[in-house]
Amino acid sequence: MICGPTLLLLGFCVLGTYVSAQSNQSAESASETAAHTPAAVADTIPDSVELTEAPVSSAEADTPVFVIPIQGMIERGLVYVIRRGVAQAEESNAAAIIIDMNTPGGRVDSAENIINMLGRTKVPTYTLVNPNAISAGALISMSTRHIYMTPGSRIGDAMPIMMSPGGGAQEMSEAHEEKAVSYVASLIRSVAQENGHDPQLAECMVRRKIEYKIGEEIICKEGEILTLTNLEAVRMVGEGDEQRRLLAAGTVENMGELLKEIGLAGARIVTVEATSAESIARYIEQFSFLFLAGGLLGLYIEFKTPGFGLPGGLGLLLLAFWFWGHNIAGLAGAGEAVLFLAGVILLGVELFLLPGFGIAGLAGISCVLVALLMAMVPHVPTDSWWDPGLPSAIAFKTPLIHLAGALIITGVLGILLARYLPKTSAFRYLALETATDAASGYTSSDDTTDLVGREGISLTALHPSGTGRFDNQRLSVVSRGDFIDADTPIRIAESHGSRIIVEAIQDVS
């Protein structure tokens, strides 16, 4: 009963891993695009600007530039795409990694994972704000060495907010708000310091209780969150030898002009796009809460009903998609899937093979819960084999909330289904409501009460069952518990359907 479903789930996980690997290889070969030519770049620049361009050597032309788009919300599924792009850039000895940024923000933990990956790489990093780097996008932009902006673009507004389950912003207490703001402010200061940006300016994008000014000029007033346009970000501030750009290194019209600006106009461009498997996995990860709750509910219903049917199949299918999505997102691996299957097998052994509930059941529940939890916790890749890259304690917060919520929903829906599903019209098509009882005319055996009192002889010894003959009829009979020898006169004392009870005649007083 358990072998088939577990093999099905394991097969989905292995197949998903193989498909994602093949998709990554095809995406790497298909994403290489032709380099922007100097002529095309010149068309985007006004006639009044005179261009002088040094010839590009063949070696420079063969050096790839990796462009990694960040479009839309920043969530955990995006981390895997960035990780793959950075790894490919390092393997290819890329001349630069350019983040093509257009995002309204997203998860801080995902942004921090991306920041850590960009901070570890030796490849020069750039951000092209095209046109928005808001909230978590501003954090990631600060983690690159150089920031360029397109006309009309914006960067900033990185104050953290708490999202409600319904999707809107949730109000935080003053203590919780200060705790969240303090953490994100320290994060953006740290990456600004490491990459040559002004840490106090960066902090103004997160904290509204500070004022930022250069000399007597106030750039950001106290009580405001800093958001800069491209014109404000590239303006020159300071005086004399201390004069510098406020934040961005310059404004460019497009990617081609940026490459020309940084001296890589003839470089080969490799655009790291999300594969179809990664795109599907990102949607699965976004709705992982529903997949997990539905899968657990299906297995719960299956364990409560005999055989293996539709609820168990749907439950395993949802969990297989859930594990596959988290595997593509770089969260779950084969280890978590195998641990989950081991837990399901132990639960099956406990429920169907062993009496009571003991060690196997507890071990099964523990394996299932640990596997589900670890599949949602981000694992930080490391450069050394001896460093396991254990997640921090804060990384368990959101997975614990999701797991607890899924278990609560599974329990509540399980109770409601057990109570109300049999009363619904849809359930009547699945269950047999007609009772085969005696009141409806159904009996399990013929009525033999008319045999009581008939006398005959035992054809075999009754120990206590055997065969007797009554007139010319042979019947299977049973004594009251005493042994009766063969060829002994007997009488039918009681008759209950096929159970006919006899007694020896000589014993009757």
DSSP state of 495: E
Mean pLDDT value across residues 86-104: 94
Q: Which of 405, 470, 89, 488 is nearest to 500 (CA)?
A: 470
Retrieve residue 465's tokens.
Answer: 């069952």
Query: Above 60 in pLDDT, residue 386?
Result: no
Q: Which of 281-290, 362-371, 421-430, 476-485 has the lowest mean pLDDT?
A: 421-430
Retrieve residue 346's tokens.
Answer: 């132990």
Retrieve residue 413's tokens.
Answer: 């829906």
Give 165 or 342, the one with higher predicted confidence: 342
Q: Where are the domains positioned within the chain?
A: 32-272, 280-428, 449-507
Superfamily classification of domain 32-272: 2-enoyl-CoA Hydratase; Chain A, domain 1 (3.90.226.10)
Kindly report the average pLDDT of the chain as a whole number. Answer: 78
Query: Above 60 in pLDDT, residue 81?
Result: yes
Cis peptide before 464 (omega within 30 of 0): yes
Question: pLDDT band at residue 416, thresholds of 50, 70 and 90?
Answer: confident
- The three-class DSSP label of residue 268 is strand
Question: pLDDT band at residue 310, thresholds of 50, 70 and 90?
Answer: confident
d(CA 494, CA 472): 20
Query: Above 70 in pLDDT, residue 382?
Result: no
d(CA 508, CA 125): 107
What is the reported pLDDT for 54?
36
Query: Above 60 in pLDDT, residue 497?
Result: yes
Residues 111-121: tens digit of each pLDDT: 998 999 999 99
- The per-residue DSSP string of 122-179 comes to -S-EEEEEEEEEETHHHHHHHTSSEEEE-TT-EEE-----EEPTTSSEE---HHHHHH
> Which one-letter amino acid corresponds to residue 369?
L
Q: Which of 14-18, 150-154, 285-289, 307-311 has the lowest mean pLDDT?
A: 14-18
Retrieve residue 277's tokens.
Answer: 């498997």
Is pTM, for the whole model, over 0.85? no
What is the reported pLDDT for 379?
61
Give 349 or 33, the one with higher predicted confidence: 349
Looking up tokens 């790497």 gives 28
Residues 22-75: tens digit of each pLDDT: 444 444 443 443 333 333 323 332 333 333 333 334 445 578 999 999 998 898
Q: Are 277 and 23 within 8 A, CB to CB?
A: yes
Helix (H) or strand (E) holding 489: strand 489-496
Instruction: Give the sign of the dihedral formed by CA 160, CA 165, CA 167, CA 170.
Output: negative
- The three-class DSSP label of residue 69 is strand
Looking up tokens 């795409």 gives 81
d(CA 247, CA 196): 10
d(CA 112, CA 103): 15
Retrieve residue 378's tokens.
Answer: 């981000």
End-to-end CA distance of the chain: 58
CATH class of the domain whose range is 449-507 = mainly beta
Query: Above 80 in pLDDT, residue 381?
Result: no
Class of residue 252 by CB neighbours under 10 A (exposed 0-12, middle 13-18, buried 19+) = buried
Query: H helices of 218-333, where?
Result: 230-234, 255-261, 276-286, 288-304, 310-328
Sequence-ordered list of residues with C-beta below 8 angstroms from that of 113, at least 6 positions apart, any chain: 79, 378, 380
- Looking at the DSSP assignment, which residues form a beta bridge with residue 68? 99
Q: At what angle do helices 310-328 and 76-91 cross, to 10 degrees?
A: 40
Residues 313-329: tens digit of each pLDDT: 888 888 888 877 777 66
